[in-house]
């Protein structure tokens, strides 16, 4: 956290919270006018356990979980359900660097009971459940779809953070010296 730049933190919060807020706000408004509906936000497992060296992303996704709960409470009386899905490590264009790196991928998989990377279809099934009639009495919930990863802990990626931030900057941050 100490190595995170102030603007970098703001950017991560903005990128992860604002789009979901706007979707819930405007879709929710349209659904209220039309008599009801279902909104499904996408969060992440990082919303429920720490992801060291990525404070902005983690804080942003935790905020998404709270937006789901608040929106569900506000919109439920109008027949609008709001839920969220928290994917674990899933093979997507965004995660290709992590999933494609054997060492990093194995650090994740050693922490989860179901020893495979998630597929987009795994997440789509959870979204479909929340969007469909099967969940007509469910609102304000976030379903974690992660192969059981959150039963354990987030893998130690300190060595990776040291390479990304640069060894000198990382070591300085760990001594409590803030970035300029």
pTM, to two decimals: 0.87
**Residue 138 included in any domain:** yes
**Residue 160 included in any domain:** yes
**Residue 87 included in any domain:** yes
**Residue 18 included in any domain:** yes
Q: What is the pLDDT of residues 122-180, one digit of tens each?
A: 999 999 999 999 999 999 999 999 999 999 877 777 777 777 777 777 777 767 776 65
Can you give the C-alpha Rg of the chain in angstroms?
18
Main-chain dihedrals φ then ψ at residue 138, nearest 5 degrees: -125, 125
Cα separation, 144 vs 148, in Å, equals 9
Token output for 124: 């789509």
Question: Does the active-site annotation cover 57?
Answer: yes
**Residue 93 included in any domain:** yes
Q: What is the pLDDT of residues 132-145, one digit of tens each?
A: 999 999 999 999 99
Q: What is the pLDDT of residues 59-111, one digit of tens each?
A: 999 999 999 999 999 999 999 999 999 999 999 999 998 899 998 899 889 98
Cα separation, 167 vs 116, in Å, equals 31
CATH of the domain at 154: 3.40.50.720
- Domain housing 15: 6-174
Domains of the chain: total: 1
**Residue 40 included in any domain:** yes
Q: Which residue has the tokens 């803030």?
A: 178
Cα separation, 94 vs 118, in Å, equals 13
**Residue 179 included in any domain:** no
**Residue 107 included in any domain:** yes
**Which one is catalytic: 4, 26, 57, 129?**
57
């Amino acid at each position: 956290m100490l190595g995170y730049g102030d603007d970098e933190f703001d950017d991560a919060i903005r990128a992860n919270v604002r789009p979901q807020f706007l979707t819930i706000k405007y879709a929710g408004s349209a659904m209220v006018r039309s008599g009801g509906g279902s909104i499904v936000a996408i969060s992440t497992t990082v919303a429920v356990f720490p992801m060291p060296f990525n404070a902005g992303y983690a804080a942003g996704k935790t905020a998404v979980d709270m937006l789901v709960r608040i929106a569900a409470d506000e919109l439920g009386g109008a027949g609008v359900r709001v839920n969220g899905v928290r994917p674990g490590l899933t093979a997507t264009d965004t995660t290709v660097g992590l999933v494609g790196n054997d060492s990093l991928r194995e650090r994740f998989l050693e922490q989860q009971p179901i020893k495979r990377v998630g597929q987009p279809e795994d997440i789509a099934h959870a979204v479909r459940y929340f969007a469909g009639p099967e969940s007509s009495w469910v609102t304000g919930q976030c379903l974690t779809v992660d192969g059981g990863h959150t039963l354990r802990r987030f893998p130690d990626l300190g060595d990776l953070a040291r390479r990304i931030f640069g060894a000198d900057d990382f070591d300085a941050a760990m001594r409590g010296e803030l970035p300029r």
